[in-house]
Structure 1
Amino acid sequence: MKKQISTNQAPGAIGPYSQAIEIDNLVFLSGQLPIVTETNEFPSEDIVDQTKCSLENVKAILEEVGLGLEHVIKTTVYLADIAEFAKMNDVYASYFSAPYPARSAFEVANLPKGAKVEIEVVAVKSL
């Protein structure tokens, strides 16, 4: 059965979608923008700060269902500028450990609200 996951520890959806959906042993998180929950703003215009914020939002949603980043099996990283890949990757590497999740990362034309990064993940409940 499909179950909606929601927490006020991460920004709410800005459209007709869920923060996450749990089905069977999997949790699918919608893309997380670098929005600080308390201010509803970006932490800064810096890709490092924005990547940290997106990943903190991912962590908050996972924690709502008792999971952590070690449960993530797949990520997709959307970047406004692929030239900032190395900076994003350094932050990303500080959040995950081996065995690392499978990942796709690519540049997109635009992201909502003018963000520099958006990160979505799929997690598995039992490892």
Structure 2
Amino acid sequence: MAEESVKNPLPACPATPNCVRTTENFKHGIEQVFASLIQLLEQQAHSFEVTDPKRIQIHAVYRIPVFGFKDDVDIILEEAEDGSSSILYIRSASRLGAYDLGVNKRRVKRLVSELHERL
């Protein structure tokens, strides 16, 4: 995963360790990345919705199985300037508490890794 980018349009994470925000580049077109991303969200997220189909902006909710806590995952997918690759901006944050035992970081890392594997 890339380091946090100043160009990332998602809100910055607070100083607490229960949030992660990153940017990832894909050498695939936006349609292909979007289709694979939707498949992954259908399998993993408790719920999700495409909040802005023109920009491809997605909000997903993940529920922690044992306690039922909810985490919010926000994604923006944009076409890169070259037109043949894509940029994924992702932010995952816990709704409650200051600590998440690394859940959000692992979730983002797994989602990005599985997306690369599918492509």
Normalised to the residue count of structure 1, the TM-score between the two structures is 0.33
Normalised to the residue count of structure 2, the TM-score between the two structures is 0.34
